[in-house]
């Protein structure tokens, strides 16, 4: 489903304006069924209650728009561009959060590696001390049994 497109039923052509000297024609009949709207990520639910609709002089009703995106008199391309910019800003904020999370994960991984290196160094020191002690005991053990007088 595309993010920024909408499917609208074709609206009836606007009444032709005539000059001062031509015949006036009756206004087109009012539509009785509201057009079906597709639900998109940025659409709002609209109630079909008469309080939310205004009636124009021709008898057709138009929904009142209460959104900041749909200010009266704005071009659809401006509204679409604003939506795209807002979406890009939200994506940028999400990318910043992901970047901070990645930096924190890298910092924690480096700290963990540092702890492991310190622990390995301490273990190596203990192993070296143990080796020195074992060598000393081994030298003392070699001296045993040199006197063979039984």
pLDDT for 74 equals: 82
Quickly state the pLDDT bin for 103 (edges 50, 70, 90): very high
The mean pLDDT value of the chain amounts to: 75
Asked if pLDDT for residue 20 goes beyond 70, the answer is: no
Q: Which residues contact 63 (CB under 8 A, 6 or more apart)?
A: 46, 52, 53
pLDDT digits (tens, 9 = 90+) for 39-79: 555 555 555 555 554 555 555 555 555 555 555 678 899 99
pLDDT for 65 equals: 53
Asked if pLDDT for residue 24 goes beyond 70, the answer is: no
d(CA 62, CA 28): 15
In DSSP terms, 54 is beta-bridged to 62
d(CA 27, CA 29): 6
Is pTM beyond 0.75 here?
no
For 48, phi and psi rounded to 5 degrees?
Answer: -95, 20
Asked if pLDDT for residue 26 goes beyond 60, the answer is: no
* Cα 51 to the center of its chain, rounded Å: 35
Are 103 and 27 within 8 A, CB to CB? no
Q: Which residue has the higher pLDDT, 78 or 144?
A: 78
pLDDT for 104 equals: 98
């Amino acid at each position: 489903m595309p993010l920024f497109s909408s499917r609208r039923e074709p609206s009836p052509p606007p009444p032709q304006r005539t000059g001062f000297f031509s015949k006036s024609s009756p206004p087109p009949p009012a539509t009785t069924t509201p057009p079906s709207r597709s639900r998109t990520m940025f659409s709002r639910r609209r109630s079909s209650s008469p309080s939310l609709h205004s009636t124009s002089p021709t008898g057709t009703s138009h929904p009142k728009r209460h959104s900041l995106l749909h200010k009266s008199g704005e071009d659809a391309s401006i509204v679409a561009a604003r939506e795209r910019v807002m979406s890009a800003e939200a994506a940028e904020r999400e990318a910043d959060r992901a970047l901070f999370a990645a930096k924190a994960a890298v910092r924690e991984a480096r700290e963990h590696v540092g702890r492991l290196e310190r622990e390995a160094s301490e273990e190596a020191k203990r192993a070296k001390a143990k080796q020195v002690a074992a060598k000393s005991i081994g030298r003392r053990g070699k001296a045993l049994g040199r006197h063979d007088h039984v």
